[in-house]
Homo-oligomer: A and B are copies of this chain.
């Protein structure tokens, strides 16, 4: 009975993409660990860009710096 939490930055992920993530993660757990889909939870959190930091700065500043 796995529980999976996926955190991504909020930048327009669609319902369809979320459904693909849910299906993909569940299939992976079935394939690798033989888990039961009916007791596999997947929770997606979309995090505002200003709330996600990497490299000591908010993600937008980090991406600019990478370019």
- Given contacts A5-B5, A6-B2, A58-B18, whether A53 and B41 have CB atoms under 8 Å apart is yes
Flag if A56 contacts B3 (CB, 8 Å): no
Flag if B39 contacts A27 (CB, 8 Å): no
Interface string of A22-64 (1 = CB under 8 A from B): 1111111101110101111111111100111111111101000
> Total interface residues on A, using CB and 8 Å?
50
CB contacts (< 8 Å) of A32 on chain B: these are 17, 20-21, 24
- Given contacts A4-B4, A47-B43, whether A26 and B52 have CB atoms under 8 Å apart is no
Q: A: which residues have CB within 8 A of B?
A: 1-9, 13, 15, 17-29, 31-33, 35, 37-47, 50-59, 61
